[in-house]
Amino acid sequence: MPRAHIELDRRAVIAPVRRRTFGSFVEHLGRCVYTGLYEPEHPSANDEGFRMDVVALVRELGSTTIRYPGGNFVSGFRWEDSVGPREKRPVRRDLAWHSLESNQVGLDEFARWLKLTDSELMLAVNVATRGILPALDLLEYANHPSGTTLSDLRVANGTPEPHDVRMWCLGNEMDGPWQTGFMTADDYGKLAARTAAAMKTADKDLELVVCGSSGSGMPTFGDWERTVLEHAYDHVDYVSCHAYYQEHDGDLGSFLASATDMDYFIDTVVATADHVGYKKRSAKKINVSFDEWNVWYLKEHMASEEVNDEWRHAPRQLEDVYTVADAVVVGNLLMTLLKRSDRVTSASLAQLVNVIAPIMTEPGGPAWRQTTFYPFSITSRLASGEVIRPVTEAPTYTTARHGEASLVDVVATVDEDRAAVFLVNRDLAEAAQVTIDVRGLGSSRIAEAITLADSDAYARNTLAEQHRVTPFANKSAALTDGTITIELPPVSWTAIALR
């Protein structure tokens, strides 16, 4: 049985827990919006047409900031299509996902949905095919109180109070040749700088996110960030990171170590941003918005015929059904984001409903939790105060994709009267016996110890078996003389709450 020892001290502070770390993402893609969030004919729908069974699950998930409306979708989006009387809104082709967009849910409706879930809006603007003036128009419509043409239009459309959107994304994945209107780093950096400067002329307190690389495997990775930030550094506050992971060719060991790649990604982007800052003699620090991350079986999606030229409304696309192993990886990726809270101050799990999502729905039927729902919801609920850096002694193993990785990974948070420890065991076959010295936390009892694991690492929750996989109380957890002992099953994620 592998053994690990962890020491925790409340003085080893990395950074505060950032509530925006627990953000998510809603794109007009597949069934995320239509029959996901919005289904007027559903028995649970409210007067706006939103599914209240989904609202309840989103609140349980604990998502905080929702990035909207894309994603690749935003690069062909005319925001004006999505406001005003619904019967007058145009139907458009979405080139990103080869589907039809009815525009029945737009900015004002989505903002009202956000109030149901106590979430903050993070709005993306189309700089790919539109540019500066439409971005300024959207800013005026969304945020100006009244007394101008566009703010008065919002009022006339039934939203008297401004949306007061604070975070804005300047496009999406502009380095990707799949992106409508993609650009070179030089072209995008210049456009992003001009757009950001103009938006901050309207409101100097906006928080603006410039597009970083679409993934660490992009051929321009690193150089893209440097070039873009050399243009836009003085005008923006965040650079984005996007990363998706999946198991390749049955290599579960490498897949379980995916968080080591995310850590490398963050390290590289932070170093590049700081390099540009030093060159500019700037005291400002650019933070990371990791505003797309998840497990996504992209290889299988690319081999399918989901995206085609049939131009359908809300087709079933990217509806991955997640396993226990997928959930362990998602939990571990979230742990890594917490560890990097000194520079990763916003993040978005992509996406929220049906499309590579923790929540699934059936039209006219139920909504249920995927396996990945649980580590996110539990971490969002338990993590508070400050993130602390653990001292860990654990065996390592060799992976084909990520080199050496620890069998046991851990992060902890501590608040005035409570603490939480999050752990994964990446061993494929054996439980890990772990001891955790918590004397430095001043904790006196275990409030709960919850584990997500299964004898079948590929077990899933489906429409037919919605509760096949659920977290369970880890009864091996004990706290004696300031030391926790706990057994972590193979391929597992665990949370311990302390008081």
Q: How many CB atoms lie within 10 A of CB 215?
A: 17
Is 80 noted as a catalytic residue in this protein?
no
Beta strands in 69-108 (DSSP E): 92-94, 99-101
8 A C-beta contact, residue 376 and residue 334: yes
How far apart are the C-alpha atoms of 457 and 2, rounded to whole Å? Answer: 19
- The strand pairing partners of 244, in sequence order, are 294
**What is the sign, positive or negative, of the torsion defined by CA atoms of 192, 261, 267, 492?**
positive
Please give the backbone phi and psi of residue 17, each rounded to the nearest 5 degrees, phi first. Answer: -65, 125
Q: How many CB atoms lie within 10 A of CB 459?
A: 16
- Catalytic hit among 101, 109, 225, 292: 292
SS3 410: strand
Task: Read off the DSSP letter of residue 4.
Answer: E
* Biggest alpha carbon–alpha carbon distance for the chain: 69
DSSP string, 290-352: EEEEEE--HHHHHHSSSS-SS-EES---S----BHHHHHHHHHHHHHHHHTTTTEEEEEEE-S
How far apart are the C-alpha atoms of 361 and 474, rounded to whole Å? Answer: 30
Is 48 noted as a catalytic residue in this protein?
no
DSSP string, 260-285: HHHHHHHHHHHHHHHHHHHHTT----
- Catalytic hit among 140, 173, 247, 386: 173
Q: How many CB atoms lie within 10 A of CB 277?
A: 17
Residues known to be catalytic: 173, 292
